[in-house]
Amino acid sequence: MPDRSVLWTPLNSSALVKMASEGFLVMVMLTNVVLSSADFVSLKCQNSVGLVGQPSRLQCILKTAESLEKSPEITHVFWKYNNKVVLKMANGAKIGEERFKFADASWKKTMDISLLIDSTKISDQGQYSCVVSTNMGITGPVDVTLNVKAEYSEPVTAYKLNKDETRADMNCTAKGGYPQGAIHWFDSINTNWTGSSQTTATKMEDGSFVLQSTYTSNDVSLAPFRCVVFNSDWKEEHFVDIEIPIRVAPDKMISGVETKHIAAAVVVIGSLICGLLIALLLFRRRSRRHDDRYDDYPPDIEPEARAELTVDDGKDKVAVV
């Protein structure tokens, strides 16, 4: 019967130290194998901005050192979002959601392992990570951020006048935008009345926002009023002008009697102007006839002498030459 005491002989301190040192050496060797790939292979990625409903691309390219004579062979690719694998390529087999795929179909040759997201949603916004395994080791993870934006719809407007039609309550609504934007109000002379308005932003289930703004003007003569929708970068996306019919207030309207008086005054003034014009024409004609009577005098006789040489024959004055 074997001596069990040999099997259960405790290790002395020197043996433990030797085993620990050997294990540490193995771990260091393995770590060096993995980290050594960073000297030859690196992953270059860029953050991206995507639009809702459009494809979005998260760019990541595997770069190799110029000293390498042969390009590394990619064996595994992992794309993760919120600690969940959305795209995995292992031994030629693709695993992941249908909307997530490689942007470059020839990614194994081009080393472009960029992630393409079809029909981008607001919920796709966030931080992604990429890890690549090659025959030279593991590269990554490298973090990449996707920011998602959505354009607001054309604003819908309406207004309501008070009884005297001197004040207008207006509202403006824009939907479907992301991130949260703003609505501003302007009048016909470009005065900004946003400080007198009230705007609310409601977040919907899909993450988009609905902007609703109301503004009351006590002077409708400043119409048209303009509702302007700005995105989160304070860039104008849409605007709508609210046209309000301006009516003359009853106390400023001209009565029928006043209209008749004004018409009579216009007729009298017109008649006086016509009479003055006729009198001016007659005066000019008589002046011309008077000047024509002295045309037969010698040019060296002064006008005063001509009057002395004029003889009245009873019918008309005849010049004596």
Task: Specify the pTM.
Answer: 0.62
pLDDT class of 265 with cuts at 50, 70, 90: confident
pLDDT interval class at 3 (50, 70, 90): very low
3-state SS of the chain is: CCCHHHHCCCCCHHHHHHHHHHHHHHHHHHHHHHHHHHHCEEEEEECEEEECCCCEEEEEEEEECCCCCCCCCEEEEEEEECCEEEEEEECCEEEECCCEEECCCCHHHHCECCEEECCCCHHHCEEEEEEEEECCEEEEEEEEEEEEEECCCCCEEEEEECCCCCCEEEEEEEEEEECCCEEEEECCCCCECHHHCEEEEEECCCCCEEEEEEEEECCHHHCCEEEEEECCCCCEEEEEEECCCCCCCHHHCCCHHHHHHHHHHHHHHHHHHHHHHHHHHHHHHHHHHHHHCCCCCCCCCCHHHHHHCEEECCCCEEECC
- Flag whether pLDDT at 34 surpasses 60: no
Provide the pLDDT for residue 212. 98
308-319, pLDDT tens digit by residue?
A: 545 455 544 444
Confidence of residue 108 (pLDDT cuts 50, 70, 90): confident
